[in-house]
Structures are given as C-alpha cells and as structure tokens.
Amino acid sequence: MPLPHRTSATLADGREIHFYDDAAGREREVVDTRVLPPVQSGAELRWDPTTEEWVVMAAHRKARSAHTTAACPLCPSSDGAPTEIPAGDYDVAVFENRYSALRGAGGDQPPASTSLTLPAGGRCEVMVFGSEHDTSLARLPERRVRTVIDAWADRTTALNALPDVEQVVCFENHGSEIGATLTHPHGQIYAYPFVPSRFERMQRASRHAHARGAGCVFCSVLTTELSAGHRIVARSPHWTAFVPHAARWPYEVHLYANRHVPDLAALTREERTDLAASYRSLLRRFETVTESPLPYMALWIQAPARGERDHSHLHAQIFSDRATPLKPKRLAAGELGAGTFISEVEPEQAAAALRATDTWTLPDPLPAQPAAAV
C-alpha cells in the first residue's frame, strides 16, 4: 500500500511530528519557534505477580493540559500564540506526547531494573483529526476520515518496527464526560513495550481455537453474528458492525474486517475507502442514537508487533458508559475488583436502536477534498 502524503519534522524539544494531508502535492515548511525544556518522564513498569500483568507508573502526567480557559494546544499556531502544532492549518497531525505515559524519546534516567520494575519503553503519540476546534470525527468528511485511517496505518507500521514495542493501539476518548481532557477532536496511539493483558487473553483464546482445529475465533464470532442477524448494526462489502453477544456496556459495537487481516497497515485501498464510510457512519450513530450525543471510547485491536500475527483479526471496539446522556453506568466493586461485568441493557435492543438511527443528519463542516492518489 503506497504511503499517504506525509511531511515529517521535529518540535523544539526534539519530539517528532508528522502531517498527513487529504490530497497530495502540498508543500509544508515546519518551524517550531517555542523554547521548550527537555522532555522529562518518570514512567516505569511495575509487575503485579498476583495477576501477572504490568502496571504503568506515570505520575508526571499530572502536569499535562486539561480543560482550561487557556489557548487550546491542538489548534493551529498563530503569530504570538504557538501551540503543539507549528502550522497555520492542517488536515491530520501526529506528534509525540510531551507527557507520555511511556518513556519514548528523551526522558530522564530510567529506574534501576529489578524483577518487578522496568523502564517504561515504548511511545505515546497524539493524533489530531484536523485544525477545526469545534467538531468531531463523526462530522468530518469521508476524505478526512480516510486520511485518519491512512495515518493510523502508517504509524502502526513505524511503531511496530521499534525494537521496544510489542503492541500498537490506536484509540479515542470522545467527550469530557468519559475522560477526554481536551475538546479539540483528537485520539492517541500507544505503542506498548508489552502485550496488554486483555489482548494477551485474546491471543490465548485464538491459540486455543487454532489448536483444537476451529480456526480463527474472531472469524467464528463474525460468522455467528451474521447467522443470528439480530445484533448486526450495519454491513458493507468489507466491514460488519454488530453489538456483541456478551456486550459489557450499554452501547457497545464491534466493527470487524470481513477479511481475515492482522492490522490496519495490511488493508487494501478498497478496504480503507469502505472503512472511512463505515467508521464515520458508526460514530454518527453514537451521536444520534439518543437525544444528545453519547460520549464514547473507541480502540483498534491489531496484531502484536511480532509473533502470532496470523491469530489476530483486525477489529474496532466502540462503546459508551451510558444508555442515555444523563445515565452513566458506574462500575461497582464486583465489576472493578473481580473484573466481571454486569450488563443492564440487552444487546439485541441496543443493536435495534443503533440500526434505526439516521446517520446522515449531521452536517459536514468542511468541504470535501479531492482524493489523494494512494
């Protein structure tokens, strides 16, 4: 798959920034005029032997930007008001997080390695979906969503190649009610130095299915949902969206690639174009299924950087912690402590509500751009 149109540069403190344009041919000169101190990170990994999983310690993140009356750090820079984006306008921008939960570039001296403590390698990046402040990914044109997908794929390839990265996760927290600290439309990419425990359990389930001759467990789930039919939300030539049989959240949708494919970077041109329409339509359902837009979390589950990539099946999970804008689901001690969810919404009813949603009532605030030759 050819690379999207990309311009790469360096911020004032040495962090990388990459610009992805909706159309090829744009020349961009990037100069960060700020004077910034070196990036400092006290991040480390601590092993919990009782659950056999890593916990990331990142106390330095308390100093990061949050809701404030100060200028938005993700808006374009202007004379006398530089931001994290040293450009007058842009389509999609990706840069290393200055307050990274993982150590990434720079940082102070790592902690001494022991059997229970390690330096937190890997990298955290911020992906901004456009220069316009008051919008959302669901409201952007399909061409822009396609640029976001191309950027996800490109960063997945680049981060998978780093020696201390084991798993790349692209995600978005949308809405202050669900924890987003900035309102400007953006997501993040975490390149973990280990495979997170939930993804490791998925890999284990996939290994077991292959060992007993059942093939891909994700393909089996997709086949089952298509056969049942009543939890399907939408289907296109390359993608299927459904509420899972054992949904944990009031509104939860999984978006599966119809083809068995390991990650975003492996998608064909046609699959990416179809995904731009399918993913935007799905996000619009979360904005219109109730009387007010639902806050949501979304993440892409991809193959690990190395090993057992054939056992993975690319899919996204999009979910909200509330059945209505004013009724959040609060996780109780049994759910948080024991890890066993109790769902109070029937998946079949949630699927019917999402299916019935009109996804075309939201305006497109930006003019459509000509498609890039990718």
In a domain, 361, yes or no: no
pLDDT recorded at residue 125: 97
Give the active site residues. Answer: 186
pLDDT bin (cut points 50, 70, 90) of residue 3 is low
One domain, residues 257 and 116: no
Task: Give 338 or 70, the one with higher predicted confidence.
Answer: 338
> What is the pLDDT averaged over residues 211-217?
93
One domain, residues 111 and 217: no
Q: State what percent of residues in the chain have pLDDT above 90.
A: 72
pLDDT recorded at residue 369: 39
For 36-74, the pLDDT digits (tens) are: 998 877 789 999 999 999 999 988 776 665 545 568 999
One domain, residues 266 and 179: no
The tally of domains found in the chain comes to 2
In a domain, 22, yes or no: yes
One domain, residues 309 and 185: no
Task: Give 104 or 173, the one with higher predicted confidence.
Answer: 173
Identify the domain containing residue 62 by its residue range: 6-197
pLDDT bin (cut points 50, 70, 90) of residue 110 is low
For 256-301, the pLDDT digits (tens) are: 999 999 999 999 999 999 999 999 999 999 999 999 999 999 999 9
pLDDT bin (cut points 50, 70, 90) of residue 152 is very high
In a domain, 101, yes or no: yes
pLDDT recorded at residue 63: 61
One domain, residues 179 and 232: no
Q: What is the mean pLDDT of the chain?
A: 89
Task: Give 327 or 234, the one with higher predicted confidence.
Answer: 234
pLDDT recorded at residue 218: 97
One domain, residues 10 and 87: yes
- Residue 273 sits in a domain whose CATH number is 3.30.428.10
pLDDT bin (cut points 50, 70, 90) of residue 88 is confident
pLDDT bin (cut points 50, 70, 90) of residue 366 is very low
> What is the pLDDT averaged over residues 336-349?
93
Reported pTM:
0.91
SS (H, E, C) the chain: CCCCCEEEEECCCCCEEEEECCCCCCCCCCCCCCCCCCCCCCCEEEEECCCCEEEEECHHHHHCCCCCCCCCCCCECECCECCCECCCCCCEEEEECCCCCCCCCCCCCCCCCCCCEEECCCEEEEEECCCCCCCCHHHCCHHHHHHHHHHHHHHHHHHHCCCCCCEEEEEEEECHHHCCCCCCCEEEEEEECCCCHHHHHHHHHHHHHHHCCCCCHHHHHHHHHHHHCCCEEEECCCEEEECCCCCCCCEEEEEEECCCCCCHHHCCHHHHHHHHHHHHHHHHHHHHCCCCCCCEEEEEECCCCCCCHHHCCCEEEEEECEEECCEECCCCHHHHHHCCCCCCCCHHHHHHHHHCCCCCCCCCCCCCCCCCCC
One domain, residues 48 and 187: yes
